[in-house]
Structure formats: structure tokens, C-alpha cells
Amino acid sequence: MSGHSTYEPKTGFERWLDVRLPIIRMAKDTAIDFPTPKNLNYWWTFGGILAVCLVIQIVTGVVLAMHYVANSAMAFNSVEHIMRDVNHGWMIRYIHANGASMFFLAVYMHILRGMYYGSYKAPREVLWLLGCVIYLLMMATGFMGYVLPWGQMSYYGAVVITNLFSAFDKVIPGVGTAITTWLWGGFAVDNATLNRFFSLHFLLPFMIAGVVGLHIWALHVPGNNNPVGVEVKSKEDTVPFHPYYTVKDGFAILVFLLLFSWFVFFAPEAMGHADNQVPANPLATPTHIVPEWYFLPFYAILRAVPDKLFGVLGMFGAIAMLFALPWLDTSKVKSMRYRPTARWFFFLFVAATIGLGWCGGKLPDDVVLPVGRDAVTGEATGFTVVMLSQTLAIYYFAYFLVILPALGLFEKTLPVPENISTPVLPKGGAAMPSGAAASPEKKG
Amino acid sequence: MQFGQSIQTKLSGLIAAIAVGSLALLPVAAHAKTNEKEPMEVHFSFEGPFGRFDQAELQRGYKVYAEVCSACHSMNLVSYRDLAAPGGPFYDPKHPVAPAQSPYAKAIAEQYKVPDIDPDTGDTIQRTATPADHFKAPFANDAAARAANGGALPPDLSVMARAREGGPAYIYSLLLGYEEPPKGLTVPAGKYYNPYMAGDMGSYWTGAKTQIPEGGFIAMGKQITASRVQFDDKTPSTVENEAHAVATFLAWTADEHQVERKQTGLAVMLYLFVFTLITYLSYRRIWRNVAH
Ligand code: HEM
């Protein structure tokens, strides 16, 4: 798909540059002419949305860093100073804080899109793996960013997560403790921890930007997957990226920005937690420590396992599943449109993950379905949040480790269309009026 | 889009909706250690995208803070000039750009003496506050604050309205919520019972374990009483008016730029909406000859 460039340098300068650094050629080939399947639906707009999110986080983050003070005695007040005294500081900070949530919302849509339409299958495994790396870096960035305002949740979130590594003391005594001490830069979460988190929180987004470059490169070699999951067969199956997808993505990005702005301007604290407005206090543990919403499913898996070490392994394993997905799914059919059974297991998977997220926000011993009462205390007993988390976590892992590998072997799939154009056209006729794709702006 | 596909899209939407909905319906017998009462149903002028602070009420609220709460609670993040900034209690359109030049901010600041260092001698001195100074704290440090309050630290109130679930409604409810402790509850010395306060009272309760009363103990006694503060605008000094005013004032100190934020937001939303519409029409036009 890539390779045959249509760029013709027009001016003398362009010709001069083209033989030295063909950067205009590259831009035209990848962002203007790039042949893109014509049947992409709105689930495909999240890629562009994610790029916008990354730029927004970097721009607002760099400005915040001009005023923020990474010191355990001053961090909280410096964020308040940004909110009160810096010109439009409240806006920059609320865009950044809500931007993290919007970023994760978009990445989850993007990942689920890939899972439903089989975008991880050959020849796109490397593309998928790079996406998983981006997601991992995003989680590290989001976690460390949340620590920076140094409120109660910042502090105790950092304590809980860094302490997880002490579980490795069970494997080799002393190693876990050594890791936590190394992470903290001391013997507790303190000023040194805050400073390194700031340094890394500043660095990682630029590493994400680098991996995004590789991700797009790996996209442009095989080209886009599409809702029918059949590879592009001819020119009739595609339209040039510009103006077709610039305008479609542009529309989706604007709708996304409307939602984003609603949070920033009218509900800026909706996704925050009241406890994080209280300055960090190592002597007063909050009654209920919860991470941000986008980590809740993994937090639920962590707490579902009674053993700390296996809880930690379960949590990381849940993310590792994504990396292994291309080799776990044995089906030859990409799109779940033609996989009637897999489809239902997929929807169940989405429901289970949302359910895990819900569990992650509750106390483990909360009762979900009361069955009886405790004889001594009189408290309701029955099916608890932990039990629900366990049930859902088992399904989460089974989906990757049992269902997808097995289904590919047994499932009776529906007939897959010949090519992209067939299911799109009313009677499978001619692809489109000739010339329509090449210069739509000149028609009418 | 083909018939079959759109059915499928709708189905998947429906399934997702059912999944989310049924989760929300799960009977949750939350048995957290704390079980405080939900804040009272109380309304404020600044609720919703179009809500705005009532400036007269902000002024009354400042008076309640200055005459009552400031005896114990600091407000370290707010400066006197903020009071006269746009959206603030003493904003005067006649002094739009420099709140520090506002006669109101100057007049208020001049009532206070703040600690400083004499640049000539290096001695610690008390000088008259300027609009740029932050609110004078009632105690020199946390230890002094605790010593004067039976060991409990009165928290800084600057962001209090953001730092508790329920915000201003919680503050209002807490201030008015003091009641006689239920029979069977032993209130420790120096503490008061309040059904809106979070806390674990299990070990102070002699009744059935299933019937632990709602609420917790608080080291702050009842502060809001009728006629505690005389309002300059002749608003009656009822407990409700006093509590409502101070809750409003604390909502402002926790979110000084709220009015500016919402005004900007309306303009941004309108701009984005029009831009989205134009982009959608362009999309329809560009794609009109492509079957997809
Ligand atoms: C992948 C992109 C990024 C994500 C997901 C992200 C996420 C976050 C989050 C969740 C917070 C805490 C917000 C709060 O509750 O206050 C935060 C704070 C912060 N971030 Fe980022 N960030 C990103 C990029 C950046 C960059 C590139 C910089 C600087 C160059 C930066 C600088 C800061 C600073 C200074 C703070 C502290 C101020 C504050 O808490 O609002 N961030 N970030």
C-alpha cells in the first residue's frame, strides 16, 4: 500500500528539498494521499482523537510545569496557586486533569475497537504491540501525574501502588523491599518520591509521542483494518485520507471536544475525589483509598486475590493478556461481524470489565447480594464485592486464555464478503462513480 | 449502512446499556465503617451551568466567616485582594483591573495585623496587612491551634467546599445538624455528636450493633446560632441564613474563578457547536458520492 508515491515537487525549492530530505513527500503520502478503506465507521475516529489528547496533555502539562513546585511541602499549594493566581491557570489545570480521563476514555474505545474487529491479527501484530506499549506508558504517566498535586489520594495512591512491589519478598526475601526502597528513593513515600515522579511524568509523554510515531509507521505498512476485516483488494476499496477522513475524524474530534469541554467548564471535579483536596498527611489514612476510574478494573483484580503476590501478578497479568492477544485468538476471521458466537463473548467481556471497574470503587467486604445476617454483629452477609470481582476476573482471564483460543477452532463463522466494496454497495455493483474519490471538491 | 449491520450496532448498544444498567441496580448493602447522613436538600444560586454567586450573599458569608469561623479556622490560600477580584464578594466594576487597588480590599486588610520581619532590625513585628496579604491565620502554628481546641486541629477552610463529599450542602448540613446524642451513645469529653459528620462510633454505642446511629463525633461545638451575626443588608439573622451564607462564601473561596469558568464555558461550547455543525455538513458533502 505504501511505496508508490504520487508526490510531484512543483517549485524549485520543493525539488531541491525532495532529493535531500523528502519530508514533504512523506507528509503528502501519509496524511493526504494515503489510501484508506472507505468503510471505516466512527470507532475508527478514536485514533485521531487520541493524537489530539496527547498534544493537549503535553501543551497544558508544559505550562503547568512552569508554575508547579515539586516539593512535598509546597506542591499542594503550588497547584492551588495555579488555580487561583496564574492567569487562566484554572483552565489549564482543569484541561490537564480532565484531559487524562478523556485520554483514557478514548484509549479504551480504541482498544475495544481493535478487539472487536480483529485489528491485532496478521499482518498487524507489531502495530498492536506498539499500541499496548503506549497504553502501558499512559498508565505510568497517569499514575505519576495524579501523585503530583500531593493530596491525600495522591499520597496514599502512591503508597499502595509502590508497596505492591514488596510482595516480591515472598519470591526472594529482601528483593521486594529493596525494589520499593529504590522506587521511593528513601524509606517512605516522601519528597524524593515526589521529585522523581515529576521528572518521569514530564519525560514519559515524550516517549509516548515517540512510540506513537512507530505505531503510525506500523499502521502505514499494512494499512488500516476495517469493519468487515477483509484486506483492501483494489483501489475501489479505498479513498484518499484527505479530504475523506480528515473531515470525518475532524467531526468526531469536535464532538469529543464538546464532551471534554463540558467536563472542564461545568463539572471539573466530577472525576476527581474530595479527599485529594486535603493536603497529603502521612499520619491520617483516608477510610477508603481508590485510584482514578481508569485503573479500577485492575485494582479490583488485585484485591480479588487473597494472596498479595498473586494479586500483583494477576493485575499485571491482566495487562499482559492484551500483549498476548494476537497469538491467543486462533480464528482466521477478523471482524466479529462474521463471528456470531465470539461476538456475545466479547460483549460479555466488556460487561465483565465494566463490572470489575465498579467493584474496584467499592469496599471489598461490601455485600452485593445479601443472603443472611451475621449472628453476632447482625451485619448482612452474602455475596460480597470480592466474590463478584473473583467471578468477573475469572471470566476476564478465561476470555483470553480459553474462549478465544478454543472458539477459533470450533466456531461456525458467517460467510465473509469477497471484498470491502461488496457489502457496502446496494447490489454489489460498481464501486463508485469514477473520479468521485479523486476530486470530490470539484463535483457540484 | 446495511439493514443487518445497523441492527447489530443497535443490539450492541442495547447490550452495553443493559450491562451498565443492571450493574447500577445491584442491591448494594454498603457496610462501610462510617455511615453519616446524606447532606440536606439545600439549593444555592450558583448551581448549574447558568448559576451565579449572589454577591450580597457572598458579603454576608464573608461576615460570618470573619466574625465566627476565623476565630479558629485559617484561610491560608485566599488573599484580601481576592475579595475584590471579579466574581468576588466586594468586586466593584469601578476598579476592574487591579483588585489590590480596590478601596474595599484595602479597608478590609487594614483591620488586620500580620507577622513580618522588620527589614532594618530583623526583629519580628506585627504590621498592618495589605490587600496582597493572605487572610490572617488565627494561630501561629498547628500546635497552637490544637492546644486551643482540645487537641483537635481546625482545618484550613480555603478549599473545604471541594474537600468534602457534598461540598457546600455538606457544610450547611454540618453547621445546622447538631442534635442531642441518641440514648445509648456516650459522647467523649470535648466532642459533640453530629449526624452529618463521618466517623466510627461503634465502641461508644451500647445498643444493638445493627442500630449504630448515623453520624460521628466532631471536636467543633455548635457555632451557628440565631442572631450570631448582624447582617448589614438587614437580612434576618436566622440560623439558616447564616449557614447558607457561609456555605456560599466557602464555595467561592474553594472556586474563586467559578463565574469566569462558566462564562468561558458557554462561549467555548457555542463555538464548538457551530464548528461541529459546519464540519458535519462538510462531511456529508464530501462523502455524498461514496457508498460506505
Ligand atoms: C500522556 C500525557 C499525560 C497524562 C495522561 C497526564 C496526566 C496527569 C494527571 C492525571 C495529573 C493529575 C491532575 C490533578 O488531579 O491535578 C497530572 C498533573 C500534572 N502534569 Fe500531567 N499528564 C500528561 C502529560 C504531562 C506533560 C507532558 C507534562 C509536562 C511537561 C505534565 C505536567 C504535569 C504537572 C506539572 C502536573 C501537576 C499539576 C496538577 O496536578 O494539575 N503532564 N498529569
Task: Report whether A13 contacts A40 (CB < 8 A).
Answer: no
For the stretch A393-404, pLDDT in tens is: 999 999 999 999
End-to-end C-alpha distance for chain B, whole angstroms: 7
Q: Which residues of B touch A351 (CB under 8 A)?
A: 15-16, 19-20, 23
As for how many domains chain B has, the answer is 1
Cα A145 to middle of ligand 1, angstroms: 5
> What letter would DSSP give residue B135?
P
Lowest average pLDDT, out of A271-285, A324-338, A414-428, B238-252, goes to: A414-428
B264 contacts: CB under 8 Å, gap ≥ 6: A91, A265
Beta strand spans in chain B (E) = 113-117, 124-128, 192-194, 216-218
- Tell me what pLDDT residue A325 has: 98
A426 band by pLDDT with thresholds 50, 70 and 90: low
Question: Could you identify the atom of ligand 1 that is nearest to the CA of residue A64?
Answer: 35
Count of pairs with CB atoms under 8 A, one residue in A, one in B: 161
Among all chains, which residue has been given the C-alpha cell 507577622? B115
**What would you measure as the largest C-alpha separation in chain A, in angstroms?**
90
Answer yes or no: do A368 and B26 touch at CB < 8 A: yes
DSSP letter for each residue of A37-83: ETT--GGGGHHHHHHHHHHHHHHHHHHHHHH----TTTHHHHHHHHH
Over range A116-137, report the average pLDDT: 98
Query: Nearest Cβ partner of A247 from B78, B286, B292?
Result: B286
Whether A385 has a pLDDT exceeding 80, the answer reads yes
> Is A1 buried (19+), middle (13-18) or exposed (0-12) by CB count in 10 A?
middle
B7 band by pLDDT with thresholds 50, 70 and 90: very low
Whether B33 has a pLDDT exceeding 80, the answer reads no
Task: Report whether A234 contacts B277 (CB < 8 A).
Answer: no
Task: Report whether B156 contacts B75 (CB < 8 A).
Answer: yes
| C-alpha count within 13 angstroms, C-beta hemisphere, residue B284 | 5
A365 touches chain B (CB under 8 A): yes
Residue B289 resides in a domain = yes
For the stretch A133-185, pLDDT in tens is: 999 999 999 999 999 999 999 999 999 999 999 999 999 999 999 999 999 99
Whether A443 has a pLDDT exceeding 50, the answer reads no
Check if A97 has its Cβ closer than 6 Å to any atom of ligand 1. Answer: yes
- Tell me what pLDDT residue B79 has: 95
**Which cell numbers in the block locate residue A280?**
497529603
For the stretch B208-243, pLDDT in tens is: 887 889 999 999 999 999 999 999 999 999 999 999
The whole-chain average pLDDT of chain A stands at 93
**Å from A173 to nearest chain B CA?**
35
The residue contributing the CA closest to ligand 1 atom 6 is A142
Question: Could you identify the atom of ligand 1 that is nearest to the CA of residue A58?
Answer: 27
User: Of B64, B38, B15, B47, which is closest to residue B244 (Cα–Cα)?
Assistant: B64
Q: Which residues of B touch A254 (CB under 8 A)?
A: 272, 275-276, 279
DSSP letter for each residue of B4-63: HHHHHHHHHHHHHHHHHHHHHHS--B---S--PPPPP----TT-STT----HHHHHHHHH
Residue B276 resides in a domain = yes
Residue B32 resides in a domain = no
B100 band by pLDDT with thresholds 50, 70 and 90: confident
For the stretch A37-95, pLDDT in tens is: 999 999 999 999 999 999 999 999 999 999 999 999 999 999 999 999 999 999 999 99
Residue B97 resides in a domain = no
The residue contributing the CA closest to ligand 1 atom 23 is A57
The whole-chain average pLDDT of chain B stands at 88
A243 touches chain B (CB under 8 A): yes
For the stretch A5-49, pLDDT in tens is: 889 999 999 999 999 999 999 999 999 999 999 999 999 999 999
- Tell me what pLDDT residue A428 has: 44
Go through the domains of chain A in sequence order and give each one's CATH number.
1-33 (no CATH), 42-289 (1.20.810.10), 292-417 (no CATH)
- Tell me what pLDDT residue B81 has: 94
- Tell me what pLDDT residue A442 has: 39
B91 band by pLDDT with thresholds 50, 70 and 90: very high
Whole-number Å distance between alpha carbons of A137 and B178: 49
Whole-number Å distance between alpha carbons of A35 and A223: 8
Answer yes or no: do B262 and A266 touch at CB < 8 A: yes
3-class DSSP string for A158-201: HHHHHHHHHHHHHCCCCHHHHHHHHHHCCCCCCHHHHHHHHHHH
Residue B8 resides in a domain = no
Query: Nearest Cβ partner of A351 from B5, B19, B276?
Result: B19
- What is the domain range of residue B267? 258-292
**Which cell numbers in the block locate residue A145?**
501525574
Lowest average pLDDT, out of A167-176, A376-385, B66-75, B253-262, goes to: A376-385
B35 band by pLDDT with thresholds 50, 70 and 90: confident
Residue B253 resides in a domain = no
Which B residues, 78 through 117, put their C-beta within 8 Å of a C-beta on chain A?
Answer: 78, 82
Which comes out higher in pLDDT, residue B220 or B32? Answer: B220
- Tell me what pLDDT residue B129 has: 96
Task: Report whether B185 contacts B215 (CB < 8 A).
Answer: no
Residue B278 resides in a domain = yes
Tell me the percentage of chain B whose pLDDT exceeds 70: 88
Spell out the alpha helix ranges (H) of A305-339: 308-328
Whole-number Å distance between alpha carbons of A74 and A195: 12
- Tell me what pLDDT residue A424 has: 65
Whether B6 has a pLDDT exceeding 70, the answer reads no
Query: Nearest Cβ partner of A366 from B31, B165, B289?
Result: B31
- Tell me what pLDDT residue B211 has: 86
b/e code B193-213 from CB counts within 10 Å (16+ = b): bbbbbbbebeebeeeeeeebb
Residue B274 resides in a domain = yes
Check if A68 has its Cβ closer than 6 Å to any atom of ligand 1. Answer: yes
Query: Nearest Cβ partner of A243 from B23, B275, B286?
Result: B286
Whether B95 has a pLDDT exceeding 80, the answer reads no
> What letter would DSSP give residue B230?
-
Whether A381 has a pLDDT exceeding 90, the answer reads no
For the stretch A200-231, pLDDT in tens is: 999 999 999 999 999 999 999 999 999 999 99
Whole-number Å distance between alpha carbons of B14 and B7: 10
Which comes out higher in pLDDT, residue B222 or B102? Answer: B222
Q: Which residues of B touch A293 (CB under 8 A)?
A: none
Answer yes or no: do A337 and B8 touch at CB < 8 A: yes
Which comes out higher in pLDDT, residue B27 or B238? Answer: B238
Answer yes or no: do B31 and A268 touch at CB < 8 A: no
